[in-house]
Amino acid sequence: MGCQLGPLRDSINDSLSSKESFPNKYFSNGRLPVFTALPPQREAVEVLNTFFTYTTDIFPLFHPNTFTELLNNSYERRRPRDPSWWAGLNITLAIGYRYRSMHQPSQSGARTKSNVYYKNAMAAVPELLLRKPDLMAVQALMGINLLTIAMRSCAQFGIHGTCAIPRSTCREQDQPTFILSLGYMMEEL
């Protein structure tokens, strides 16, 4: 009785060929499903301002200036290629729209938008879990509230020791420490 790999191989080949037939317009970076496109840049900046207004003092998950610069660069390129950035951007949009729906009743549809951007962020989670962790991945996972996974990624990334990010790219020297502290604080709640 030998193992027959023919049907399994055919099944794998069929699934690979069906993935290739999907138009790229449905994917953020060629791999991640997109449930809704990013809003126009002006709207995204406004939603980000809402996010930072309500979260920076009590939950400084992202550094506002660094994040805004990444956002502007992302819109110049049209398509984010980094799954960590895609998840981080979408979770901030989701939280920003959620705050708008709660605090600005005139924002009709903000709650629905929040849900779809949350789905965009969640679509990146498998990719974040299967690749080498980076700071943006940890931040996105914390934003999505997958704390156990985020804390494991913190440890793998080395945030608990010295900053694993080269200082030339780590604009805010304290950001990794803030992220680790937030993770421990949230885990204890």
With respect to residue 189, please indicate whether it lies within any of the assigned structural domains: no
* Residue the block writes with tokens 């502007």: 72
Q: Which residues of 75-100 are buried (b: 16+ CB within 10 A; e: fewer)?
A: beeeebebbbbbbbbbbbbbbbbbbb
Its domain, for residue 143, covers: 41-157
The answer for 159, left when phi > 0, alpha when psi is -120 to 50, beta otherwise, is alpha
For the entire predicted model, the pTM comes to: 0.66
* Residue the block writes with tokens 């931040």: 139
What gap in Å lies between CA 54 and CA 41, rounded to an integer?
20
With respect to residue 168, please indicate whether it lies within any of the assigned structural domains: no
pLDDT tens per residue, range 151-163: 566 666 666 555 5
pLDDT tens per residue, range 15-73: 333 333 333 333 344 567 788 889 999 999 999 999 999 888 877 899 999 999 999 98
With respect to residue 33, please indicate whether it lies within any of the assigned structural domains: no
Give me the DSSP letters along 96-121: HHHHHHHH-TT-TTHHHHHHHHHHHH
Rounded (10°) CA dihedral 37, 43, 44, 48: -150
Contact 44, 93 (CB under 8 A): yes
- Return all residues near 180 (Cβ < 8 A) that are at least 6 apart: 154, 159, 160
With respect to residue 26, please indicate whether it lies within any of the assigned structural domains: no
Q: Is the pLDDT of residue 113 over 60?
A: yes
Structure confidence at residue 51 (pLDDT): 92
With respect to residue 177, please indicate whether it lies within any of the assigned structural domains: no
Domain count, the chain: 1
With respect to residue 31, please indicate whether it lies within any of the assigned structural domains: no
Q: Is the pLDDT of residue 102 over 90?
A: no
With respect to residue 50, please indicate whether it lies within any of the assigned structural domains: yes
Joined together, the tokens standing for residue 75 give 């819109």
Q: Pick from 67, 25, 77: which is nearest to 47 by CA?
A: 67
With respect to residue 85, please indicate whether it lies within any of the assigned structural domains: yes
What gap in Å lies between CA 94 and CA 124, rounded to an integer?
14
What gap in Å lies between CA 113 and CA 98, rounded to an integer?
8
Contact 172, 63 (CB under 8 A): yes
Structure confidence at residue 92 (pLDDT): 94
Joined together, the tokens standing for residue 36 give 């809704």
Looking at per-residue pLDDT, the higher value among 165 and 133 belongs to 133
* Residue the block writes with tokens 């138009």: 23
